[in-house]
Structure formats: structure tokens, C-alpha cells
Amino acid sequence: MKPAIVYHRPAEVRKRLAELGLALEPLLQVVEGSVAGYSACTANDPPMAQGWEAWRWGTRRAREIFVPTGWERDDTGNLSSIVNHALRLRIVVVNTDDGTGRLDAEPSNRSKKGGRSEQAANHNLQLRLALEPPEIERAIQEQMKADALSDYETWYLCQHIMLDIKRGDISRAELSFPTTVSCGYLGGWKERIILRDDDGPVGSKARERDDGFTPEFEINVRRRA
């Protein structure tokens, strides 16, 4: 299997998104909605609450932003998404692990299998797609089969939100296209478009300047009299 094509420089990220009919800022707003849902939870909430709320608020925010622009809500097979029939594109918000938004790793939507204590810890700490992974896996598999028989593509807005004591709630995110799902794991990534990494949004002004994305300014120098 070929390694995924990864877009992470501001100019190439915006270019690839534009080819899909998308823009960076609305996708970042969806991630911000997920962070808000995550942050609203307290120590009194059940351990799964942060992951559920991040997914729920991200999906809701995606619909609030995109539906007025021609997209539609879609819950086919209990896989909540937004779909654009003109673009023949579907987007699903999914909570993923620490590999999200990194060049040296890949995202996964479930914690790795291990001992019972390790599984319990991962179950509490990692953000899961939803409360019933087997049902979600079946829905994703059905959607992939449907995509294979059509010219629609289902992209996943992968997001990993974490608590940093000094920086507060921070997140990494990417819009990525998987080709397989097995035992609950999304994989076989074909393309990954990094939206946020440890340095923040890839489209920040400072990073676009570093990428040569902003226009140059002419500096006039006058000779002293």
C-alpha cells in the first residue's frame, strides 16, 4: 500500500482544499466547536463525556456552517455527516488519537488493543468516535462500499483534543481520506490534509509568511542629504 499523500504547508493545504471545493477557515471553525464541547465538560461528567461532546458539537457546528451554503445533513446508516451532492463529497467528524496532525504518525479512531488495565486507561483518555464503536464501524464499512459504487468520496475531519496544563485545551486536526476500516480502525490513508498541528492552524498569517504565501512589499530607501 502506498504511503499517504500529506499536505501540511499553508499554500498546498489551501490549494488541495480548493480542489475539493472547500476552504480552511470553515473547517477550523468546526474544530473550534468540538473544542468548545470538550471544554464544557467537568470532572463531574462521565469519562466518555468529553469525547462524545467533542464529536456532537463538531458535527453540529459543521451543519450550522455548511448547510446554509448548499450542503445537507445526512444520517444514512447512523453515520452522521454533511454531504454536498454537487461536489459529490461527504464529511464525517471523527475523534482520533495522538497520531492526528503529525507528520511522523497517522491518526486512528480507536485506542490500540492491550491489557485490560491499559484498555481501560485508553478508554477513558482517548477521544472515541461514539459510544458504540461496532455500530459505527459497520456504518463506515457500508459507506465505503457505497462510495466504491459511486463517484462520491467520504472524507473524515479527524480531531484530537487534549488538555495542556500551561496552554489549556489544544487540538490537532486534519481532513483525511481513508480506504479501509478493520476492527474499528480507520486506515489505509490515501490523503491527509493537515489543518492544525502543535503550532496551531496551518493557515495562520505567520506560517503563511514563512511558506512564501504572502505578497512581498517594496521598501523605499532614501539617501541622506
| CA 37 to chain CA mean position, Å | 15
Q: What's the pLDDT tens digit per position in 18-77?
A: 999 999 999 999 999 999 999 999 999 998 888 889 999 999 999 999 999 999 999 887
- Mean pLDDT, the chain, whole residue set: 80
How large is the average pLDDT for residues 190-213?
81
Find where cell 463538531 sits: 58
Grid coordinates standing for 96?
482520533
Asked whether the predicted pLDDT for residue 212 surpasses 80, the reply is no
Higher-confidence residue: 96 or 133? Answer: 96
Q: What's the pLDDT tens digit per position in 126-144?
A: 334 443 445 666 777 787 7
CA-CA-CA-CA torsion sign (187, 191, 196, 199): positive
| Whether the model pTM is above 0.75 | yes
